[in-house]
Amino acid sequence: MLPLEHEFQWSRETVSGAVSVNLLLFGLSTPFFGRLMDLYGAKTITVLMIILMTLGAVGTLFMQESWQLYLLWGIVMGAGSGGTSMVMGAAVINRWFHQKRGLALGILGAAFSSGQLIFTPLIMYLTIQAGWRTAILLMTVLLALVVLPLVAWLMVDQPANKELKPYGANGETLTVLKADSNPMRYVMMRPQFWLLAASFGICGLTTSGLFQTHLISHGVEHGFPQMTMAVSLGLMGATDIIGTILSGWLCDRFGKRWPLALYYAFRGLSLLLLPYVDTTGQLMAFSVMYGLNWLSTVPATAALTADLFGKQNVGVVFGWISFSHQVGAAIASFGAGYLHQLVGNYTLAFLISGLFAFVATGLVVFIKD
């Protein structure tokens, strides 16, 4: 955000608006890609979306106008990332695992956190030392030369394609799961869907849209160096590896609903404390506390989706639930930027987000298993 403001003289609202478009398109594309994954397999859709993301990243290297930021980072990268998100992970893991699904989804969430741990400080370092274009170029090379070949070579949609059974499913046959013809018709009639979607929307509002867009800027305004804030995000990723795997294990052991409600309550408390973090020690302590909770909601929500609406439909159903997540993220990304423009700091944005997290706790409690 800060390098783009300095180089192009774009306002905070302009840049965060492009991120909002990215997050919104990320969410809007996931149910459609999820449906395509249910019908045609996750591998084909994921490969195509990695190619689209690579092209979008290359294009940003040459942008000069704000509309190009909205087009490339907002629309192209936003839509492309929808096909490589946790919807893809949910579609694959809920087919490959009959038992230990929560743990498997937790490990996958930990992989997301590992990326944050590794790349947030690295990209910040490259941005400071060599400019933001160098950081984007690194992402482009990794997508094109590492991620794309590995997915094309190793990904398998479901165990029946390899004449295997799902893990822990001794009684099941080697049948390929086929999606229902119109699953959303009955899914949208069930209140569990709307409660789950609303709570996951608040999850997006209190995580990616708020933190990944504005946390570094908030920290700089409080006197923390940019590199310290990047390390803070990386530390959140490190502790989230533990928290997400632990979340999956708790879901396998105690069910999904009550751990999920607890996660939102814990997140609300941490957000209410954030505006009053003033020292590096407090910042790192907050990073650990918040990091344990960052993606812990994802294994519980994805596994609960499969339990309630069927493994064969998890791509499209979790896709729509993820869309609500990204709507919340887009609202937070733009809303926090707007409130900052209005009052000159992020305190009000963090306090409002914390209160919404407590609302999510109440929504989850009413979901019937």
User: Binning pLDDT at 50, 70 and 90, where does residue 261 land?
Assistant: very high
Identity of the amino acid at 67: W
Residue 165, in any domain of the structure = no
Q: What is the CATH number of the domain that holds 87?
A: 1.20.1250.20
Q: Could you tell me the residue range of the domain that residue 341 belongs to?
A: 2-159+184-365
Is the pLDDT assigned to residue 180 strictly greater than 70? no
Identity of the amino acid at 157: D
pTM of the complete model: 0.75
User: Binning pLDDT at 50, 70 and 90, where does residue 205 land?
Assistant: very high
3-state DSSP assignment of residue 121? helix
Phi, psi values for residue 256, rounded to 5°: -100, -30
Average pLDDT of span 297-318: 86
Residue 92, in any domain of the structure = yes
Residue 193, in any domain of the structure = yes
Is the pLDDT assigned to residue 173 strictly greater than 60? no
Residue among 194, 203, 224, 233 at smallest CA distance from 325: 203
Residue 169, in any domain of the structure = no
Residue 175, in any domain of the structure = no
Residue 174, in any domain of the structure = no
Distance (Å, rounded) from C-alpha 332 to C-alpha 322? 15
Average pLDDT of span 322-328: 87
Average pLDDT of span 10-30: 83
Task: Say how many domains are in the chain.
Answer: 1
Is the pLDDT assigned to residue 78 strictly greater than 80? yes
